[in-house]
Structure 1
Amino acid sequence: MPTAISASVAPQTGAEPRSPGPVSHPAQGKTTEAGGGNPSGIYSAILSRNFPIIGVKEKTFEQLHKKCLEKKVLYLDPEFPPDETSLFYSQKFPIQFVWKRPPEICENPRFIIGGANRTDICQGDLGDCWFLAAIACLTLNERLLFRVIPHDQSFTENYAGIFHFQFWRYGDWVDVVIDDCLPTYNNQLVFTKSNHRNEFWSALLEKAYAKLHGSYEALKGGNTTEAMEDFTGGVTEFFEIKDAPRDMYKIMRKAIERGSLMGCSIDTIVPVQYETRMACGLVRGHAYSVTGLEEALFKGEKVKLVRLRNPWGQVEWNGSWSDGWKDWSFVDKDERARLQHQVTEDGEFWMSYEDFIFHFTKLEICNLTADALESDKLQTWTVSVNEGRWVRGCSAGGCRNFPDTFWTNPQYRLKLLEEDDDPDDSEVICSFLVALMQKNRRKDRKLGANLFTIGFAIYEVPKEMHGNKQHLQKDFFLYNASKARSKTYINMREVSQRFRLPPSEYVIVPSTYEPHQEGEFILRVFSEKRNLSEEAENTISVDRPVPQPGNTNWESEEQQQFRNIFKQIAGDEMEICADELKNVLNTLVKKDQDLKMQGFTLESCRSMIALMDTDGSGRLNLQEFHHLWKKIKAWQKIFKCYDTNHSGTINSYEMRNAVNDAGFHLNSQLYDIITMRYADKHMNIDFDSFICCFVRLEGMFRAFHAFDKDGDGVIKLNVLEWLQLTMYA
């Protein structure tokens, strides 16, 4: 059975504050050295891209920059203004911050001095070490760095108080434009700063990231992998160091060689120990960057070393191989130079790999996707991206512990088409990685949103169902075990895991741990070979019954009864309006002792007339009423099938099958709409709403087919036709 795990690290540490749970799962990030300057030839492909822009409608950075220069004004961002609304949403500071531009803070401000590198990042009074640790990692890869931080920005040439940065956002690269007003106190930057007082790229990058999430406070607490992925579009793998594979050092070494970003952290059980310094100089519950791995000769033996950086820019490890370690004198001079050994309090230090795995508990590696890799020689991924959402009462079914609703979750068919090229593997296997990411939860924190506990399961589709894109039903999951699944359900932004399965067709079911939790997500599948991933149930159609020959006369006693009722209400004209239809139907339906209902509403009856009114009179004649009654009887039978407790309602999750039984085949978006439109606050649908839904479906399908004269599935309406259709339906 799936188990929910909470990643518990307090605010102002390297991990997201979590809901209570049995296990903590923070993860922090580390940093690496990056060169500076503007090397030629590396940016052309990146800078020529047309990125969507966030925050300034219909205007690019270039257009805004040019306009400010022409008017000789400094840019002021209207969507992230220099006031308290951009700072905090849940607290008010007793001191007053003053927003200043860099030329007001110091003389000779510079965007980048001597290249952007990890020593330019010093944490301020905001608990975003996870973000800063990721920046430090980013500085190790120039190509990635200058995608995130466009290089042609300056306080000297064409300065207009406007800057921009680029982030990966749920499948797309977006451009975030900001002004350069920064919060200060006593003329000092309050948040991230450089060790050079007149260097501002890291502070401005932090501001752009805060704007992306709505405020500076939204950055308090998080996992380094979150920012790593936003810088690269990559996908992260987590390692519990105590359970790490034997070749962990080799894995880390390869990751460094591939340009991957790495972070690590030390878990703590006692909450008061978050971000507290240990005797060895390391800090619990805090994000570190892994910036290098080397092997050094020491007294004739090779020693594996790991280089780490504390984003505070100070507070370092004080054990073996630390800056002030007394045995550095036994290390060869050339070896010390190669390791760049310096006794400086800059937050960066070496430690042995043995000490690393003894003290640290979590390691995160952010693997880069093909468009982020520097060399074509490095491994590239085939990536499939699907966006989806969980909707309460319809497609938010929870995990496999809830079999009545699990099957209603979004489903994605995965076709593994080619096996790996591994001569040492006797099995025919496909390697792939699944990454499930929940969207916008950090940005929506001010609205009370917390991270959901999420995970996924993978099932093999029977061969007889290959190519059939229909949503798998409840019975399938009751009688078939999953072939693979995420190790646990956990409240992190993304859950990812690598798998090896034979070539076949599979279905991936992403879900929250509990049902009824609404949210958006992105599901990515990375494979070494070709794969095809798409949402199930993407065809929309309606079954048209074949007319049956036979006697159309009224045959049953029941039919004779309501014929008499119809005649009594309709009078000599033998036509009824909506009010009269309501009386007829409620009289007939109340005769059914097995159906509990309050009666049809006037609005429902108006919709029914719109469906059956073939001559446009706004009334129904006997023949039209006859057709309507036949449909209602058929739909009533379906309703009774699902109303097993005779409550007069059916659960909204059951509506999917009821709609399908009635011959309407929809996709997940339409099922979501039906739930939002017809279910009550308890996610139940009564008989009146049930019939109303089917009447609307029947009417809209009929109208569409009437307009679709050439049968190509596309119709064109003018505004009059559109209003006539929608207003009367």
Structure 2
Amino acid sequence: MSGMASNLAKKRALAAGFGTNANAVKYLNQDFEALRAQCLNRGGLFSDPTFPAAPESLGFNELGPGSYKTRAVQWKRPGELCSSPEFIVGGATRTDICQGALGDCWLLAAIASLTLNEDVMARVVPVGQSFGESYAGIFHFQFWQFGEWVDVVIDDRLPTKDGELLFVHSAEGSEFWSALLEKAYAKVNGCYEALSGGSTTEGFEDFTGGIAENYDLRKPPPNMFQIIKKAIESGALLGCSIDITSAADSEAVTRQKLVKGHAYSLTGAVEVTYRGRKEKLIRIRNPWGQVEWTGAWSDSSSEWNSVDDSERQNVKADDGEFWMSFTEFLRHYSRIEICTLTPDTLTDDSVKHWSVCNYDGSWRKGSTAGGCRNHAYTFWMNPQFVIRLDEEDDDPDDNEVGCSFVVGLIQKNRRRLRKVGEDMHTIGFAIYEIVFKSQLKGREVHLDKNYFLTHAQKARSETFVNLREVSTRFKMPPGEYLIVPSTFEPHLNGDFCIRVFSEKQTETRKKLLGTQAAIALNASLLSFTLNNGIYQILVARYAEPDMTIDFDNFVACLMRLDMMFRVFMKIDAHDSGSIELDFHQVSE
């Protein structure tokens, strides 16, 4: 299926509700309810043939078949490890997640964040699972994967060594939800070893479908407070932490009761009138529910005595939460992570939902893998996407006029490719302002080498980096902009998903591709130049439900296009690119 047909098929499926969290795609066509019913009917326990209890599910190198780390590994079900296994004991908490012999602390930090938000947790860990009457050795979990939610089925055979779980385990020895969740995520990524090394934001996104950003508070943007405030108003997940300089610093408590190397949540951002001026305040939550900041603006500090009672009523903190000034926040904390959620994740009508646009694409050697801007003579070959920003932000306190949006570029399935010796590409993107629409006479074309040799980029990703995703926040005037995603080096194959999160509605579309497939199609169409909208209409008219087109329909489409262009060119004697027809001409 072509890239365009694939995108149309995905849009149709999403419009019909498929691929949403409420109606997730069945990963590898495995239906949890049907498989569990089959096992219950025959009185047996489920064994997953797609992710077997075998060495290949563990790994390929350090956890490969010949590694000392996997010697004497036995796969056991929870009932073989304890007498009364439980799925979740007394609610999911951060103490349910203890790291094992796998370098996936980034994933465990993301799983821990799930326990702080019951609604998000329920989207990943479906309710109604247990070791009770309905137990059949089968469980399922849901993850966001590159634009759609997938429902992943697993059996409950877990790798053990010397009678202990080899990887993630709960401090409560009879609880298994975290170990089973890790197994499902390993299945999606090919094996357990594929999870070694990563960024917490990757887990954030796969558990929420949101888009994540990282900020170094040693060099924050000038509008950092406004970014935090808007993120909280939009229902985003925010975390902050204090860097450690040695292992001894991990979870060390400072004199003012801040914990180093510890993940905090950001829950509020306000301004209050203090001694005749505005004071910016940040509300922070310690997941421990205790050990709170004791400095200025803490619960019992004298600063609150200088704040009017009417304002104090609107500035509250629950147990485990505390306020501190934004200035102190920047002084003490090292970094902040923001995960902006998709509208379907948010159930609270009071939050300001951001809109999101998605598009899939690919880099292919010899056609669409042009490399970064350094490679001036091939850069133009990369896929090109247009976004249109129409409305400025609603922010009376911000003197900067423009439209806020976040662009995220994700490379697909790279963890799965580690088995065959590949890893993450170094990726990034450039943004160009489109100011020449009149020159195009309303046509969409794939901009060529000459354009990029003579025009400077308007903005770019903060860096090119070999992570799964590169994301950067921008604020630009209304208008149309071209996004060009690329690998750093040219001639590298890969698939990607590009997403645009915006405070206001944004339109995204793809420029005509300069791929071999598109070139061949254009040759077949006798050098016709069709915009994306016309392509979609043609696919909708002539394609089968599975997005294929038979030969008869293909020929019919070509003949009609040929006739249409011939008639158009005959009427457009001055080659203006547009024609006017009266009623009689149209009816003829």
Does the TM-score normalized on the shorter chain lie above 0.5?
Answer: yes
1:560-579, aligned counterparts within 5 Å? none
1:613-632, aligned counterparts within 5 Å? none
Deviation, structure 1 residue 431: 2.3
- Contact in 2 for aligned 1:538/1:666 (Cα 8 Å): no
1:498-509, aligned counterparts within 5 Å? 498-509=473-484
- Please point out which of 24, 27, 36 is paired with 1:65: 36
- Contact in 1 for aligned 2:264/2:286 (Cα 8 Å): yes
Residue matched to 1:146? 122
Query: Which range moved further: 113-122 or 207-216?
Result: 113-122
- Does 2:247 match 1:276? yes
Distance 1:394 1:46, change over 3 A: closer
Query: Which range moved further: 216-225 or 460-469?
Result: 460-469
Residue matched to 1:454? 427
- Does 2:92 match 1:116? yes
- Does 2:43 match 1:80? no
What amino acid is aligned across from residue 505 of structure 1 in structure 2?
A: E
- Contact in 2 for aligned 1:305/1:353 (Cα 8 Å): no
Deviation, structure 1 residue 159: 0.6
- Contact in 2 for aligned 1:390/1:517 (Cα 8 Å): yes
Residue matched to 1:372? 345
What amino acid is aligned across from residue 530 of structure 1 in structure 2?
A: Q
Deviation, structure 1 residue 467: 3.8
Residue matched to 1:664? 527
What amino acid is aligned across from residue 53 of structure 2 in structure 1?
A: P
2:247 is paired with a residue of what secondary structure? coil
Residue matched to 1:90? 61
Distance 1:100 1:502, change over 3 A: same
Residue matched to 1:482? 457
Distance 1:380 1:305, change over 3 A: closer
1:462-500, CA deviations, whole angstroms, 9 ceiling, x for partnerless residues?
131374211011111111112222122122211112222
Question: Distance in 2 between the 1:709 and 1:407 partners?
Answer: 28
1:122 is paired with a residue of what secondary structure? coil
- Contact in 2 for aligned 1:240/1:363 (Cα 8 Å): yes
Structure 1: gaps spanning 5 or more residues: 1-44, 296-300, 311-315, 342-348, 541-651, 670-699, 714-729
What amino acid is aligned across from residue 369 of structure 2 in structure 1?
A: A
Distance 1:354 1:432, change over 3 A: closer
Query: Which range moved further: 474-483 or 404-413?
Result: 474-483
What amino acid is aligned across from residue 264 of structure 2 in structure 1?
A: V
Distance 1:116 1:480, change over 3 A: same
Deviation, structure 1 residue 519: 0.6
Deviation, structure 1 residue 184: 1.6
Residue matched to 2:181? 205
Question: Distance in 1 between the 2:133 and 2:85 partners?
Answer: 12
1:507-656, aligned counterparts within 5 Å? 507-537=482-512
Deviation, structure 1 residue 365: 1.1
- Contact in 1 for aligned 2:240/2:265 (Cα 8 Å): no
1:144-181, CA deviations, whole angstroms, 9 ceiling, x for partnerless residues?
11010001101012110000000001000000000011
Residue matched to 2:406? 433
Question: Distance in 2 between the 1:417 and 1:302 partners?
Answer: 31
Deviation, structure 1 residue 530: 2.3
Residue matched to 2:544? none
1:649-728, aligned counterparts within 5 Å? 664=527, 707-708=556-557, 711=560
- Contact in 2 for aligned 1:264/1:287 (Cα 8 Å): no
Question: Distance in 2 between the 1:420 and 1:291 partners?
Answer: 26
2:419 is paired with a residue of what secondary structure? helix
Question: Distance in 2 between the 1:420 and 1:292 partners?
Answer: 23
Distance 1:78 1:150, change over 3 A: same
- Please point out which of 210, 213, 220 is paired with 1:244: 220
- Contact in 2 for aligned 1:224/1:287 (Cα 8 Å): no
What amino acid is aligned across from residue 437 of structure 2 in structure 1?
A: K
What amino acid is aligned across from residue 402 of structure 1 in structure 2?
A: H
- Contact in 2 for aligned 1:88/1:217 (Cα 8 Å): yes
Question: Distance in 2 between the 1:712 and 1:512 partners?
Answer: 36
- Contact in 2 for aligned 1:308/1:350 (Cα 8 Å): no
Question: Distance in 2 between the 1:236 and 1:437 partners?
Answer: 11
Query: Which range moved further: 485-494 or 426-435?
Result: 426-435
Deviation, structure 1 residue 247: 6.7
Residue matched to 2:131? 155
Structure 2: gaps spanning 5 or more residues: 1-17, 254-259, 270-278, 303-316, 533-548, 563-588
Question: Distance in 2 between the 1:306 and 1:47 partners?
Answer: 32
- Contact in 2 for aligned 1:122/1:193 (Cα 8 Å): yes
- Please point out which of 452, 458, 463 is paired with 2:437: 463
What amino acid is aligned across from residue 468 of structure 1 in structure 2?
A: R
Residue matched to 1:291? 265
Q: Count residues with an aligned counterpart.
A: 490
Deviation, structure 1 residue 520: 0.6
- Does 2:491 match 1:491? no
Residue matched to 1:190? 166
Question: Distance in 1 between the 2:524 and 2:557 partners?
Answer: 25
1:230 is paired with a residue of what secondary structure? helix
1:397 is paired with a residue of what secondary structure? coil
Distance 1:85 1:480, change over 3 A: same
- Contact in 1 for aligned 2:412/2:496 (Cα 8 Å): yes
1:525-561, CA deviations, whole angstroms, 9 ceiling, x for partnerless residues?
1222222111111699xxxxxxxxxxxxxxxxxxxxx
- Contact in 2 for aligned 1:439/1:520 (Cα 8 Å): yes
Question: Distance in 2 between the 1:468 and 1:47 partners?
Answer: 34
What amino acid is aligned across from residue 413 of structure 2 in structure 1?
A: N
Residue matched to 1:132? 108
Deviation, structure 1 residue 230: 0.3
TM-score in terms of structure 1 length: 0.59
1:88-123, CA deviations, whole angstroms, 9 ceiling, x for partnerless residues?
211213541221111111121111111112222222
Question: Distance in 2 between the 1:354 and 1:99 partners?
Answer: 52
Distance 1:302 1:414, change over 3 A: closer
Distance 1:466 1:368, change over 3 A: farther
Percent of counterpart pairs with the same letter?
Answer: 47
Question: Distance in 2 between the 1:52 and 1:500 partners?
Answer: 35
- Contact in 2 for aligned 1:416/1:531 (Cα 8 Å): yes
Deviation, structure 1 residue 219: 0.8
- Does 2:376 match 1:403? yes
Larger-gyration structure (1/2): 1
- Contact in 2 for aligned 1:306/1:356 (Cα 8 Å): no
Residue matched to 2:310? none
Question: Distance in 1 between the 2:231 and 2:553 partners?
Answer: 55
Question: Distance in 2 between the 1:166 and 1:158 partners?
Answer: 19
- Contact in 1 for aligned 2:383/2:513 (Cα 8 Å): no
- Contact in 1 for aligned 2:431/2:483 (Cα 8 Å): yes
